[in-house]
Structure 1
C-alpha cells in the first residue's frame, strides 16, 4: 500500500496506488478507514491507467477524530474479493478548527515537567526530607540529583526527536563526512 501514514483532519488527500496483482482492468480498489470509537469511512478510488487514483476531500476528512486508525484496502470484481493490506495510520488534528492545541511531543512535555520540578525543588530553599512514614504509609521524594538526571535524559530525548524531524524534512543529521 502506498497510502500516506498520516492524514490531517480537514485536509484534502490524494495519492496513486499501483498494484502488481491483480491488474486494474476490471477490478475496483476500495479503502476503509476504521476508527476505534467512531464510524468507519469508505474511501473510493478510480481507475487511472495501470493503477488507481484515490482522493479524499476536505469536507470528508474534517469529521475525522484525531488519533490512530486502521486503513484497509481490497479489490473487488463481481463476486471476487482480494484483501490488499492494512496499515496503522495517524489522524492529526485539524489545526484550523480547534481552539487549543499543545503540539509538544511527549518528551518535550516530560522535559518541561522535569524542569519545573527541579525549579520548584531549588526555589523552596529549605532542607528536603527524602522520605517519611505516617501510620504505616511511606512517602519517598526524589533527590535533586535524580531530578537533574531526569532533565538531562529528556534533553537528550528531545535532541533525538529534533534530529529525526530534521532528517524527515531533508535536513542534515549534524555530521558532514568527506572522502578523498
Structure 2
C-alpha cells in the first residue's frame, strides 16, 4: 500500500486517484470540522470534500471523478467548516494534467508556432499577393523574409527542446560530435 501524502499535490493526472491526509490540529475532524477544496480557473470550478480519519481529514478523489476534470492550471483554496463557521486554511496553485492517452495537442508552443509558420510559407509559395483591398478593407501579409527569420528562430527553439529531451533520456544532444585526442 503506497504511503499517503500529507500535503496537497501540485499536479494531479486526470483519470488518477487523488489522495492525501491533512492534519489540522485547530480544526479536528473528530470535532465535526469538514475540510473542503475549491479549484478555480477561467473555465471551470471544481469542489470536493474530505472524510474524517480520526482527527485528520482524508481527501480521496476517485479516478472516475478526476477523469472528468478539464486539464489546466487552477488556483485552489482549502476551507475548514463547522456549521456557520468557515475558515480558509490553505491556498495554492495546482496543475491538472490530461489523462494518459487523451486526445490532446502535446506539442510545445514553439513546435506549434514553427509548424504554423512553415504551413504559411508553403501556402504563400504559390501566391504572389503581398496585400489586397476589398470594399475599403485592406489585408497585408507578413513579408516572406520576416517569416523566414521567425521560422529560423523557432527552429532553434524546437531543436533546443529536442536536445534537452534527448539529454534527459540519456541519448545526448543531436548534431554534436565529441572528439578526444590523446597521446
TM-score (norm 1): 0.63
Q: Secondary structure at the match of 1:94?
A: coil
Q: Which runs of 5+ in 2 are unaligned?
A: 1-5, 174-183
Give yes or no for the alignment of 1:101 onto 2:107.
no
Q: CA deviation at 1:139?
A: 2.0
Does residue 136 of structure 1 match 2:117? no
Unaligned runs of at least 5 residues, structure 1 = 175-180
1:74/1:39 Cα in 2 relative to 1: closer, same or farther (>3 Å)?
closer
Provide the aligned C-alpha RMSD in A.
Answer: 4.0
Deviations 1:121-154 (A, max 9, x none): 34x2x6x333333443222122221111221333
Selected match of 2:120 from 117, 121, 143: 117
Q: 1:34 to 1:152 in 2, by over 3 A?
A: same
Measured after TM superposition, the shift of residue 61 of structure 1 is: 1.4
Match of 1:66 among 65, 71, 93: 71
Shift of 1:79: 6.4
Measure the CA separation in 2 of the matches of 1:131 and 1:119: 17
Tell me how far apart the structure 2 counterparts of residues 15 and 39 of structure 1 sit (CA, whole Å).
Answer: 20
- Other structure's SS at 2:50 match: strand
Q: How many residues of Structure 1 are paired with residues of Structure 2 in the alignment?
A: 164
Structure 2: distance between partners of 1:45 and 1:160: 46
Matches within 5 A, 1:14-163: 14-17=19-22, 23=25, 26=28, 28=33, 30-35=35-40, 40-44=46-50, 46-47=52-53, 53-76=58-81, 80-96=85-101, 98=102, 100-122=103-125, 124=126, 128-158=128-158
CA 58–170 in structure 1, closer or farther in 2 if over 3 Å, else same: same
Q: CA deviation at 1:155?
A: 3.1
